Amino acid sequence: MIKPHGAEQLMPLFVYDPTQHHALQHEAESLPSLLVNSAAAANAVMLGAGYFTPFTGYMNRADAMSVAEKLHTINGLFWPVPILNLTHDISSIKDHKRIALRDPNVEGNPVLAVMDVDAIEELSDEDINFISEKVYRTTDNEHPGVSTFKAGGKFAISGSIQVLNFSYFQTDFPDTFRTAVEIRNEIQERGWKTVVAFQTRNPMHLAHEELCKMAMKAVNGDGVVIHMLLGQLKKGDIPAPVRDAAIRKMVEVYFPPNSAMITGYGFDMLYAGPREAVLHAVFRQNMGATHFIIGRDHAGVGDYYGAFDAQTIFEEEVPKGALQIEIFNADHTAWSKKLNKVVMMRDVPDHTKEDFVLLSGTKVREILSKGIAPPPEFSRPEVAQILMDYYQKEVAGQA
pLDDT for residue 399 is more than 60:
no
Among 79, 110, 389, 120, smallest CA distance to 249 is for: 389
Spell out the alpha helix ranges (H) of the chain. 18-28, 38-48, 61-70, 125-136, 144-150, 169-172, 180-190, 206-219, 240-254, 273-286, 309-316, 361-369, 381-398
Pairing of strands 356-357, 333-336: antiparallel
pLDDT of the residue at 216: 97
DSSP, collapsed to helix, strand or coil, labels residue 42 as: helix
Total number of residues shown for the chain: 399
**Exposure on the CB side of residue 380, measured as CA atoms within 13 A:** 21
Q: Known catalytic residue: 201?
A: yes
pLDDT for residue 310 is more than 90:
yes
109, 129, 190, 201: which one is catalytic? Answer: 201
pLDDT of the residue at 235: 77
Q: pTM for the full model?
A: 0.94
What is the CA 52 to chain-centroid distance, rounded? 11
What per-residue string of b and e applies to 18-54 under the rule 16 or more CB within 10 Å gives b?
A: eeebeebbeebeebebbbbbbbbbbbbbbbbbbbbbb
pLDDT for residue 262 is more than 80:
yes
109, 202, 248, 365: which one is catalytic? Answer: 202
pLDDT tens digits, 339-366: 999 999 999 999 999 999 998 877 888 8
What integer is the mean pLDDT of 280-292?
Answer: 98
d(CA 192, CA 36): 38
Give the pLDDT band (50/70/90) at residue 164.
very high
- Kindly list the structural domains of the chain, giving each domain's residue range(s) and its CATH number in brackets, ordered by start: 18-170 (3.10.400.10), 176-398 (3.40.50.620)
d(CA 193, CA 187): 8
